[in-house]
A and B are shown apart, each in its own frame.
Chain A
Amino acid sequence: MKKSVFATAAVASIVASNMAVAGPEAEVLHWWTSGGEAKSVAVLQSEFADNGGTWTDMPVAGGGGDAAMTALRARVLSGNAPTAVQLKGPAIQEWYEEGVLADISSVAEAEGWADVLPASIAGHMKCEGTWCAAPVNVHRIDWIWANADVLKSNDIAMPTTWAEFNAAADKLMAAGIIPLAHGGQAWQDATVFEAVALGIGGPEFFKKAFVELDMDTLKSDTMVEIFDQMRTLRGYVDSNFAGRDWNLATAMVMNGEAAFQIMGDWAKGEFIAAGKVPGQDFLCASTPGEGYLYNVDSFAMFNVDGDDKKAGQDLLAKLIVGQNFQKVFNLNKGSIPARVDVALDEFDSCAHTSAKDMNASNEAGSLLPSYAHGMALRGAQAGAITDVVTAHFNSDMSSADAVEMLANSVANSL
């Protein structure tokens, strides 16, 4: 009697545990841990649960994703990769080359991703023709933010060329206002640099230099001009900028201490969190010049064993690119949806500008990946360029020397 009770209990527990794992399962590694970002991930999590999935959250904070990448490396090396990982840009292809990414083409084709994603963004999600990642959002990098009151009281319009910007900045300097709010951290220097490069060199030049790493373009006179403009910008930054965080620079624009900031559209979140209204308290415009630099966050799918995990992967991919998640997530995050057919009624005017420009530059072929945010190049090459940019910006190096150093560093990093 006793024995059969145990047996029944054992059978029952096996059945129960089987039932528990029968649904789609996903373990998701990401580094969205700060306030607004965590809220955005929670949206995905609850949608996943509503569709019968079991979500195992694996947030790894710190180092702008460096800590998460270290965790990922350890997991992959031990043969136990997470289901989905927040990865972006060429890092996706880099992991694909290690032979650890899964194919989610069936979902992508069933959902018609190719029709709703801009071609150059879709390109990042493919590994040798198969789909291996799902895009979440599009951040625009080449934004210039301005304090509306400061511009108005100094009679300055939003600049449309770098010459206009320099003229406006000189005027502001004379009026005792810091023209450009900037934080002296390598990635911020690189962000300004690529906006200047796109403006002065144009989309074709940008692509040759920072996507294809064409040596002649890197050494060209246009590049010297770009470094000259960086030197000019250095003069418009206050003396206390070293090591300042980007959000403190945004605050300087907010309280009228400074007039402009060149920063991606996460800066908008700071303005809005402080109760400022776009178009009224602060202005947003693309930096002088043509083109659009994007930073697309995405989730790459890793090879996993077991049908429940594979089902989880497919469900996750479907939900991420789904209309509802793309809308809700990006409203929280300040970016715009990666798919072009999402209604933007609830988004603010800056997001509308961003979406309009994205479509226009997609057609004009000037929709380009940001090098400073790891979309255009692999870590070693992007890092080599940033080293030169930040060394030039923070010293009195001549533009010609900087260009020579740029070519050498890039060659050395290959």
Chain B
Amino acid sequence: MASENLIDIKDLNFSYDTRAILKGINMTMQRGKVIAIMGGSGSGKTTLLRLIGGTLQPSSGYVKFAGQVVHELNRDALFALRRKMGMLFQFGALFTDLSVFDNVAFQMREHTDLPESMIRDLVLMKLHAVGLRGAHRLMPNELSGGMARRVALARSIALDPMLIMYDEPFTGLDPISLSVIGNLIRRLTDALGMTSIVVTHDVQESLKIVDYVYFIADGVIAAEGTPQQVRASVAPFVHQFVHGEEDGPVPFHYPAKQYRSDLNLEDPVV
């Protein structure tokens, strides 16, 4: 029987040159769940997604996806593994020279020998799932930000992956689009039996749809729990993040010397 966990992350470290980005991360992600990874900008959230997708190599530790250690795979095995994954990039990353239809059909044409008639039906079904069947002839530059992300979502579920990773899916969206994307993530995860990882700093929207939350700060897991536990948390970092407080464990001021001394207002030495 397949393990209940789709992803196991063990003692994961990652550095750019000498700058440590992730320090000893341990996570488990169960199949069929929506997991949020939250944290401030530059906290290493997107790096974690790239490590899961195998586009980066860890300094130590490992990411195990469906029982396979990602960074130990050769190129062909890694590409085979990536066919089981989908990724929604921050602004959709649609291919601008292809229509909405061709964007969604892209993976089907690249990886399968399905006849065009079947591809057409599948593409329209995927687009219907995100509410954009009627937009299949449009080009990406004719779409709004929210629509582009929905098309990208349809593209990422084209081959019915086991996992979808969402990199900041709510950034720059109006409240309606934001809610639509949030609900789609939940609905598609449940309907297709996938697992979803949502990297975000949109606390309120994500807490409505996720099953479990990890907070990352300075490369370590600062807190974790279910949405109920997160809302009730009194841990200073979680409290500051969830309530959007200006000052706290994450300081408002960038480290600097004394304000008075910077303005040359020190009392003269007598």
A and B interact = no
Interface positions of A (Cβ within 8 A of B): none
Which residues of B does A touch, CB under 8 Å?
A: none
